[in-house]
Structure 1
């Protein structure tokens, strides 16, 4: 993990274009090759980013006379030719730390069981739903459930005991990433929880995310079609 606090400007060049003017920002370069640009707000959500696989190159910037301006150009490019072009004017802090292998997220028993039950009874979300897999991997962490609706469209499901704004933000970030995958998009979202805060529901619905309130006891009581001895 490399963390760089720098005065920089950022340009995204690809299907769309975006520009971040010169300012102090946090640049995060992870061992998996991903690069993200952060401001001192927006919680964990980056201003812009590039997910792996991608290549990273750094070069000096020269003026018309071929003299080094002191600025550095970082180019992060994915296989599609999309680029994140970061012009670094001044590095204020630069640190690199080997984090090692992460053991992964350990959820509390009720929440993990709730996810397991919903996976087993995915039609709780609607008739015709089918499960693709639990803990669907992405570059920023696993999506609780990936399913397909009755029309075959992909649906990302975030499962919580108590649904709050942080959970909606988490699902929003997963959806932004999953919708970059040509094999999955368009991907819609379902925010499923035992309780959903009014503010979280408002934010989710504003972003086109469907909210589903789960009854843990009802899910536990659903009979399976598997043969039992007792």
Structure 2
């Protein structure tokens, strides 16, 4: 990433025209080819920008100090530098991505610690119960001693129900566990996923992450 702080003016020519008069600004040139111009306000939102793919040409000679950014549609962002206050480049590498609070691993850990929120008398067998096609998030027993397999998602969609169905098919072949019923648990369950789960005899549980953390009432809604 290249960071340039400069007194500059900016002109955009494309489907419309726009002009930013001279002022000190931050210019970001990212490895993906995007160029954005920022003021010292507006939070993350730039004053103007050019999304990738685009090319940046820095002028020379009489055009020195003029940057021309052109995208594949032929639109132009022309940055005229009057005074460069800072210019540095930094290799950031591949970003690991945002780790959100309440991702599936956190939900799994919290629900395992408070397995009784699935119902009175529930007990944990283990987390990450391994099968031939992958681990079941939680395997537990209900108050009657029946085996329950729980698949946990942040957002419950049809593919999650399909995944749990495959696990149940394998688990029910084990005479030490069968019969095994399923619970599909998520912070949000899509209507189509709920219909499919109900059709296959799988229960649905809407998880309240804050409640599992003890911030609010720890009720788990079972449908």
TM-score between both structures, scaled by the size of structure 1: 0.49
Match of 2:104 in 1: 111
**1:83-111 deviation digits (Å, cap 9, x = unpaired):** xxxxxxxxxxxxxxxxxxxxxxxx97621
Q: Secondary structure at the match of 1:221?
A: coil
Larger Rg: 2
Alignment pair present for 1:215 and 2:208: yes
5 Å-filtered alignment, 1:110-149, equals 110-149=103-142
Structure 2 residue runs of 5 or longer lacking an equivalent are 1-98, 217-223
Partner of 1:166 in structure 2? 159
Task: Give the match for residue 168 of structure 2.
Answer: 175
Unaligned runs of 5+ in 1: 1-106, 224-230
| Mapped partners of 1:120, 1:142: distance in 2 | 18
Q: Which runs of 4+ in 1 moved over 6 A?
A: none
1: CA distance, partners of 2:215 / 2:145 = 25
* Aligned mates of 1:176, 1:193 — CA distance in 2: 21
> Which residue does the alignment assign to 2:45?
none
CA RMSD of aligned residues (A): 1.6
Distance 1:108 1:209 in 2: 28
1:76-91 maps to which residues of 2 (within 5 A)? none
User: Could you tell me how far 1:217 is from its partner in structure 2?
Assistant: 0.5
